[in-house]
Every structure is written in C-alpha cells, then in structure tokens.
Amino acid sequence: MAGLIIPFPLVQRRAWVRRQAARMADLSEFAAQRHLCVEVDKQREVMRRRGVAPQRIERECSAGSAAVRAELGRLVQQGRSA
C-alpha cells in the first residue's frame, strides 16, 4: 500500500504563510487581496506543472489562503497593520 504524498501542503508551510501574511499586513486591503491571489496562483501553477490532480490543487490553495488569512488576523490583533 502506497502512502499519499501531498506535494505542497501549504497549511504546513509556516514560513510561506507567515511571509505572505506579514507582506499583506503592510499593504492596503485591495493590494493585500491582490498579493494573496498572485502568490496562491503561483503555487497553483507549480502544482499543475507537477501533475497534481486539479481537485487536490484547489484544496491546497484554499487551505493555504485560509492559513494566510488566519495568520494575518493574528498579526492585526497584535497591532501589526498598515
């Protein structure tokens, strides 16, 4: 029985999540949303090129976006916002 390999478990990529949230905290709301879309699209394209199933890609991108938004919320609560 083979194990399931998740190529880019974004939720577990803490450095990526923190970096995106920190960048978003320094931007306007519109620019922050755009930044997140661009960064998630980059991850989506890498997974697509590596042959990851489309359903898996969307789950990973959704989870990654949620993790970044949660981290951004923590930053804002700590007073780190533009």
pLDDT in tens, the chain (82 residues): 556 666 666 567 888 999 999 999 999 999 999 999 999 999 999 889 989 999 999 998 999 999 999 999 999 999 865 5
Residue 58 belongs to a domain: yes
Residue 15 CA, distance from chain mean position: 10
Q: Is residue 1 within a helix (H) or strand (E), and if so which, with residue range?
A: none
* Residue 4 belongs to a domain: no
Residue 56 lies in a domain: yes
Determine, yes or no, domain membership for 36: yes
Count Cα atoms within 13 angstroms, Cβ side, for 5. Answer: 6
Q: Find the helix packing angle between 29-49 and 14-25, rounded to 10°.
A: 150
What is the spatial distance between Cα 8 and Cα 46, in angstroms, rounded to a whole number? 9
Total structural domains within the chain: 1
Q: Is residue 5 in a domain?
A: no
Q: What global pTM score does this model have?
A: 0.82
Element (H, E) at 8: none
Q: Is residue 24 part of a domain?
A: yes
Find the domain containing 29 and state its range: 11-77
Q: Is residue 67 within 8 Å of 8, Cβ to Cβ?
A: no
pLDDT reported for residue 67: 92
